[in-house]
Every structure is written in C-alpha cells, then in structure tokens.
Amino acid sequence: MPSIPQPLVPGDDGGADPSVAAALAAFASGTGGAAEVASALSTARLLVPVVALLTESELGENGLRREKESEMALPVLVGADGRKAVPAFTGAESLRLWRADARPIQALTPQVCRAALGEDAAAVMIDVAGPVPFAIEGGVLRALASIGETSADRDGVQALLRGLAPHADVTVARVAPAKRGLFRRLRGDRG
C-alpha cells in the first residue's frame, strides 16, 4: 500500500520565504539582481502545482457528462517560442493567483530544477501570475539543479551562481502581470 509522504516543511503556513520575497521585490524595483534572487532561491521551499486531469467521462442518468476517472498532473507552461517551463510558486497566495484549484506540493528549489531538466523544460517559472514573476533558466537552472548532487559546498554553488549572472546564456524574463498570456498552459490546464 502506498504511503503518503510527510510534508517537507511540517507546519508550513504556505507563506513565501522572507529572503526570497525580499530578493524578488529588490529585483522588481531594480535595486537587486538575478544573482541575489537565485541565491535566495537556492535553499528555499517552493510549491509545485498539481491539477486534476480528466481521463475518462461517462454519460449520467440525467444525460449530463460526468467525471469517471481523473489523474493528477504537473502543468507545463509553453512560451511563445515553444520552450517549456515548469511553474513553481513561492507561496500559496501566488499559486492561487495563477490557478485556485491547483494543489501545492512542497519541494526545494534544486529538486524543482532537476525535475524541470528531466521534463526537457528550458526553465522554472517562479510566480508566473505575480507578484514578481521570475524565470530560472540557462546556466542558473543547471547550477541550482546541481545543488545536492555533488560534494560541492554551498559557498561554491553561490560563487557559481554569482559568476553565471553576467554570461550570455543566462537570461531572466520579467513578465508583467498584464502579460500573463506569454505562456499558454498545457496538460489539462484550462486556459
């Protein structure tokens, strides 16, 4: 019989990590950079959404179609350029802004980044519906995904993140709330 895993952070109130929220606010105001956001995210708990995906329906006695079977699925966002991104959220409120019926799964940022790479996604999109959207991609995505997979210490990873920020393969998208349509939703997500 499968067991229900214990929460990553027991007693989690669903709030955003204060250091991540501060780094994102500084990034949005132009007083902080992507490297500071990546550094704050490197040890943060994120919420990954899962949504119900109808797999089979049937016609009820009243003539209306009803759900017979459904599965839980990880939504994937697709950019206008066709690249995939895995959505993740700093807290329950930012998840609700995006999709109120999504259910949160706790995960550390490096786990989310490894999962994104495993799904052939080009990015992890943090708080896609706000308050401050932030894309983890390129070298930063790979660096964050490597945390915990090697014997490199945290200071070494932080130095790597700082060193990656100025390079061309590291880009960060700023998505204004009015441009939420930049990514269309896939895998059963109502758009």
For residues 48 and 107, the answer to whether their CB atoms sit within 8 Å is yes
Specify the length of the chain in residues.
191
Give the pairing type, strands 65-73 and 45-59. Answer: antiparallel
Question: Strands, DSSP E only, in the chain?
Answer: 45-59, 65-73, 77-79, 84-88, 103-108, 123-126, 134-137, 183-185
- 19-31: average pLDDT: 97
Tell me: the pLDDT tens digits for 140-152? Answer: 999 999 987 654 4
Neighbour count for residue 94 (Cβ, 10 Å) = 24
pLDDT band at 56 (very low <50, low <70, confident <90, very high): low
Domain limits, the chain: 18-185
Task: Note the pLDDT of residue 153.
Answer: 42
Listed range (22-26, 73-77, 121-125, 142-146) with the worst mean pLDDT: 73-77
- 22-37: average pLDDT: 96
Tell me: the pLDDT tens digits for 166-180? Answer: 433 433 333 333 333
Distance CA 68, CA 146 (A): 41
